[in-house]
Amino acid sequence: MRRASKKSSSSAATASAGAEQVNEKQNRKRKRVSTNLTSRKAQRGPTKAVSKEVERIDQFFYAYADNSSGMIEKMGCEKQGYFTLDEWRTGLKALRADSISKLKKAFPELVQEVTRPTNFQDFYTYAFRYCLTEDKKKCIEVPVACELLNLVLGLQFRPQVDKLNNYLKYQNDYKVINMDQWMGFIRFCNEINFPSLDNYDSDLAWPLILDNFVEWLRENKS
């Protein structure tokens, strides 16, 4: 009878230990589930916020898109005057703008950023490339170049731009402007004393169009 009692006591202890292990495993499982749920909720919050922002940007896009043409979705950034929805999203998310009022507030800061010396050269180059409206096109027409000079250099170099535009409209040797000539224009504005032109040296590596421009300026000045 004593042996049976000891055996019964041992079985009870084993059962109790087993139950404790089961409970411990269940508690660990509950903690893991709770932690996962908390993590998912934390991740879900920002995702919803981002989703709402994109939704507002999309609504802003469709409010002003030219739906009658049916072409705006098919155009890429290299196509002048058109923006795809993805490009619209990228730009407005960078500006943190999903409405006209926010876009207006973002413009002064955007202008300051673009006109910084460290950024302006890239912007100036991009402006030319953006006007290459056809595949494999490497030049822009002189009238387009004149308008583009007004837009991108007019604020900083108005006297030079006015004279350069007058020359481009006067001359008959060039119908189009290439990238090398375009980059020469901004170099001229940055490096040459104007209107004296006393430090312009035609023996240096200037595009021929600028040699002609300086010669024209000197002739008209005299």
Contacts of 217 (CB under 8 A, 6+ apart): 163, 167, 195, 197
205 with 123, same domain: the answer is yes
168 with 211, same domain: the answer is yes
Residue 13 lies in a domain: no
CB 124 within 8 A of CB 70: no
Segment 136-146 shows an average pLDDT of 95
Report the candidate in 142, 128, 136 with the shortest Cα–Cα distance to residue 180: 128
Task: Give the count of domains, the chain.
Answer: 2
Place of tokens 């508690």: 27
Please give the backbone phi and psi of residue 211, each rounded to the nearest 5 degrees, phi first: -60, -45
CATH number for the domain spanning 160: value is 1.10.238.200
The three-state secondary structure class of 193 is coil
Residue 160 lies in a domain: yes
Residue 211 lies in a domain: yes
Range of the domain at 189: 117-221
Is the pLDDT higher at 151 or at 5?
Answer: 151
Residue 111 has what pLDDT?
81
* Angle between helical axes of 100-115 and 85-95 (0-180°, round to 10): 80
The three-state secondary structure class of 205 is coil
Instruction: Summarize the chain as % helix, strand, coil (round to 5).
Output: 70, 5, 25
Residue 134 has what pLDDT?
81
Condensed to tens digits (0 to 9), the pLDDT of residues 83-109 reads 778 888 887 888 888 888 988 898 888
Is the pLDDT higher at 27 or at 191?
Answer: 191
138 with 178, same domain: the answer is yes
Residue 41 lies in a domain: no
CB 170 within 8 A of CB 220: no
Condensed to tens digits (0 to 9), the pLDDT of residues 53-93 reads 778 877 766 676 654 332 232 233 556 666 778 888 887 88
Return d(Cα 181, Cα 178) in angstroms, integer.
5
pTM beyond 0.85: no
* Angle between helical axes of 85-95 and 2-64 (0-180°, round to 10): 100
pLDDT range class, residue 169, cuts 50, 70, 90 = very high
Residue 73 has what pLDDT?
28
